[in-house]
């Protein structure tokens, strides 16, 4: 059973370009969470999605950032017109539906560098 898969692992973008980060949850998991880790900081919640629905996007910047989790395919975190301050590690986590006693499983992250 493969874990949470994120790609690419490393992404370099020039200022003003778009960044697309992909996350394939574990098999059977229908909940996906995106977190951002800035250098020397902890992870900050960005968005919580279920299939075809955004449940909680309270941590998403108001502009340039969007996320989706379509019926088929991976979850996508999209950052338009990237700026240097977007440089960070972006982690995806997934969990199965149901009991809160289950845990969220994290991917290895995508490290975005904006030059």
Partner 1 sequence: AQSVTQLGSHVSVSEGALVLLRCNYSSSVPPYLFWYVQYPNQGLQLLLKYTSAATLVKGINGFEAEFKKSETSFHLTKPSAHMSDAAEYFCAVSGTSGTYKYIFGTGTRLKVLA
* Residues 18-47, mask of contacts with partner 1 (x by CB under 8 A): -------------x-x-x-----xxxxx--
Task: Rule CB under 8 A: choose which of 21, 24, 95, 112 binds partner 1.
Answer: 95
Task: Note whether 5 binds partner 1 by CB under 8 A.
Answer: no
Alpha-carbon distance of 57 to 1, in angstroms, equals 29
Alpha-carbon distance of 42 to 76, in angstroms, equals 22
Tokens of 13: 């973008």
Task: Note whether 85 binds partner 1 by CB under 8 A.
Answer: no
Return phi, psi of residue 68, to 5°: -145, 155
Instruction: Tell me how far, at minimum, the Cβ of 57 lies from partner 1, in Å.
Output: 11
The answer to whether the CB of 33 falls within 8 A of the CB of 104 is yes
Instruction: Tell me how far, at minimum, the Cβ of 45 lies from partner 1, in Å.
Output: 5
Asked whether the bond before 46 is cis by omega within 30 degrees of 0, the reply is no
Residues found near partner 1 in the complex (CB under 8 A): 4, 6, 31, 33, 35, 41-45, 48, 55-56, 91, 93, 95, 100-101, 103-109, 111
């Amino acid at each position: 059973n493969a874990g949470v898969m994120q790609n690419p692992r490393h992404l370099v973008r020039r200022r003003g370009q778009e960044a697309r980060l992909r996350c394939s949850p574990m098999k059977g998991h229908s909940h996906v969470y995106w977190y951002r880790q800035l250098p020397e900081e902890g992870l900050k919640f960005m968005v919580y999605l279920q299939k075809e629905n955004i449940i909680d996007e309270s941590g998403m910047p108001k502009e340039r950032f969007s996320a989706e989790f379509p019926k088929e395919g991976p979850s996508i975190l999209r950052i338009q017109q990237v700026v240097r301050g977007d440089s960070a590690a972006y982690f995806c986590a997934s969990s199965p539906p149901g009991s809160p006693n289950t845990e969220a499983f994290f991917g290895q992250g995508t490290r975005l560098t904006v030059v």
